[in-house]
A and B are shown apart, each in its own frame.
Chain A
Amino acid sequence: MQNFIDAYSWLNIRYLLQGLWVTVEVSVASIILSYIIGTVLGVIRYAQIKYFSAIVGFVIDLIRNLPLLLIIFFTYFGLPNLGFKPAIIEAAILAMTVFESMMIAEIVRSGIIAVDSGQMEGALSNGLTYWQGLRIILLPQAMKNMIPALVSQFISLVKDTSLATIIVLPEMMYHAQIIYGQNSNYIIPMFIALAVLYFVVCYALSLLSRYFEHRLA
């Protein structure tokens, strides 16, 4: 018991929370960026522009099927070879954004497909252009149906930020490792704290998604 009291000293908790803040920063930046890029890519893939959509689709499939860890390695250790050296946090956000955009692009595409095809026909016959119909009629309806899938993708994004420990991003997992590295009595308390903190963040997100689903339904 004493271990727990010692381990949860304010100093350690504050250090963990500092890590959590970095986790949140990286997550929020990646969520916003990948949501925008993912939507654009998803629409491009859906729209079936000659050659262009096929190429974008292939790239999406390619990156989606790689492990995120490899992409993180790639951005941090690989890019300097090409003459671009990102800072740790930039590399983490870049890697997360690239990977998650592709996941979100797939969600957006299947969300648009699921909207009744009569909607587009109606939009076109009312004089809207194809892109107007897509933007004003199809996307808003698709967005509503996509909320559960999108949020669960965001949850896995938050969890995946822990992988950036490998490039020494000072996020929560890394800070916990430093704390229990100093004293092996702190190992179990630290893992419990990690589990609780991640759980709270992720579960709050999933409750939020349920709330939006009810309100929009």
Chain B
Amino acid sequence: MIHIFATQWQSLLYGLGQTLLCSIIALFFSLIIGSLFAIFEIMPNKLMRIIGRVYVEIFRNIPLLVITMFFFVVLPLYVTKINGFTAGTIGLTIYTSAFIAETVRSGIQSVDEGQMEGALSNGLSFWQSMRFIVLPQAFKIVIPPLGNQFINLVKNSSVLAFVAGFDLMYQGNMIANDTLQTMPTFFAVGILYLIITMPLSYYMRHLEKKLA
């Protein structure tokens, strides 16, 4: 294993970088999209509620691989040529946004209703009171579950290996094929994943305890 680290550290490090990059991009966009659909789900307008619900239920119940492969195979055919990294990141973003929408929605619903009523009766519009009053309080509650979503995102980003996204898993597979040292390579890859996910998951557990 040390041998793998010593000889292949460049491609492993590159893979780790791609994994992190794609996870952070996907987290950023899925936070925006997820919060948007979470707000849809609790809006007074019934049509909006249905749109939010349908989006979440659809993408929560379809495998990430299907979504990712869809973008990887279909987009180049009909729209524009994209590489595996982009297709993977789009797929991850959409898949994760459905889960984040669920998390944020439960966060918003746990904020006292009086907050919204107070904001509305003080003359703020629905979107203003969402933005200035409810969401800031909701986000404080959902930080630990969002952190867990980020951990899932890092782990799920391994689907990039299916679409040649040059992430850590893909590099690991390549190295294993080249050197035929399967076990040591996968151990090395596993350690690199754990370096990101383990501390985060312990920190999130600590936060959960502190907030509870």
Interface residues of A (CB under 8 A from B): 61-62, 64-70, 73-74, 77-78, 80-82, 155, 159-163, 165-166, 173, 177, 180, 184, 187-188, 191, 194-195, 198-199, 202-203, 206
Contact = CB atoms under 8 A, between A and B. Distances in A.
B53 to A, nearest CB: 12
Given A77-B182, A191-B74, A203-B57, A70 B189 contact: yes
A194 B70 CA distance: 10
A65 B65 contact: no
A202 B61 contact: yes
A184 B64 CA distance: 21
A191 B169 contact: no
* Chain B interface, DSSP helix/strand/loop, else mixed: helix
B49 interface: no
B198 A62 contact: yes
Contacts of B159: 69, 163
Nearest to A195: B62
Interface in B155-190: 155-159, 161-162, 169, 172-173, 176, 182-183, 186, 189-190
Contact of B194 (A65, A195, A203): A65
A70 B70 contact: no
Nearest to B57: A203
A185 B121 CA distance: 56
Nearest to B157: A67
B6 interface: no
A201 to B, nearest CB: 8
B66 interface: yes
5 contacts: A70-B158, A159-B64, A188-B74, A198-B63, A199-B62
Interface string B127-166: 0000000000000000000000001001111110110000
B73 interface: yes
B197 interface: yes
